[in-house]
Amino acid sequence: MKPLLLIDIDGPLNPFAALAHRPVPEGYALHRMRPTGWKTGAPLPVLLSAEHGEELLTLSARYELVWATTWKDEANEWVGPRLGLPPLPYIDWPSMHGTPADGTYWKTRHVVHHADGRPFAWVDDEISGIDRDWVAAHHPGHALLLRVDPGVGLSRTDFDALAEWEG
């Protein structure tokens, strides 16, 4: 069984913090989206790079790709097709947001639960050392947690680390 590659959208695939700096970063296209919950005002600006889709498809030979995003199943409607990805399974968070008392990111426990002992790599812009420590103490399998700068998105270095990781 392949290790999981758990993929967040906002930060890793959509470097939203780059929107504060014009122009749109090279290699990215600006898309206007209106997922559930984005009901009023202008559509949500989302930066996506087709190269990320190509890289993820290449990694799918080594990993089972899974959305680990608040977009949940809507990632398959709004984001996946623009990256050339097939529909992917997703983590259906039982609750979203908040801060656990121990300082871990709200997704961390759910990610470990979803992995159910399987090796996994997780890319997200909100991973911290506290999350790495918690996963090391509570997950019996191998895990790679990659924090991605939300102003840069997934980089060549990140994709190389994912390709080289021995889950």
Q: Nearest CA to 89 among 109, 110, 68?
A: 68
Cα–Cα distances in Å, from 97 out to 23, 41, 104, 130?
Answer: 31, 22, 11, 17
Domain count across the chain: 1
Per-residue DSSP letters for 29-92?
Answer: EEEEE--TT--SSSPEEEEE-HHHHHHHHHHTTTSEEEE-STTGGGHHHHTHHHHTPPP--B--
Q: Given a cut of 80, is residue 116 above it in pLDDT? A: yes
Q: Are strands 44-48 and 29-33 parallel, antiparallel or unpaired?
A: antiparallel
Rounded CA-CA distance 118/78 in Å is 28
Alpha carbon distance 87, 106 (integer Å): 25
The CATH number of the domain holding residue 73 is 3.40.50
Q: pTM for the whole thing?
A: 0.94
The per-residue pLDDT for range 76-100, each reduced to its tens digit, is 999 999 999 999 999 998 877 777 7
Q: Which of 31-35, 45-49, 50-54, 127-131 has the lowest mean pLDDT?
A: 31-35
Q: Which domain holds residue 100?
A: 4-164
pLDDT at 65 over 90: yes
Residue 74 Cα distances to 14, 38, 81, 128, angstroms: 15, 12, 11, 26
pLDDT digit string, tens, across residues 118-167: 999 999 999 999 999 999 999 999 999 999 999 999 999 999 999 999 88
Token pair for 138: 């509570």
Q: How many residues does the chain have?
A: 167
Which residues, 6 or more positions from 96, have their beta carbon under 8 angstroms from its beta carbon? 70, 106
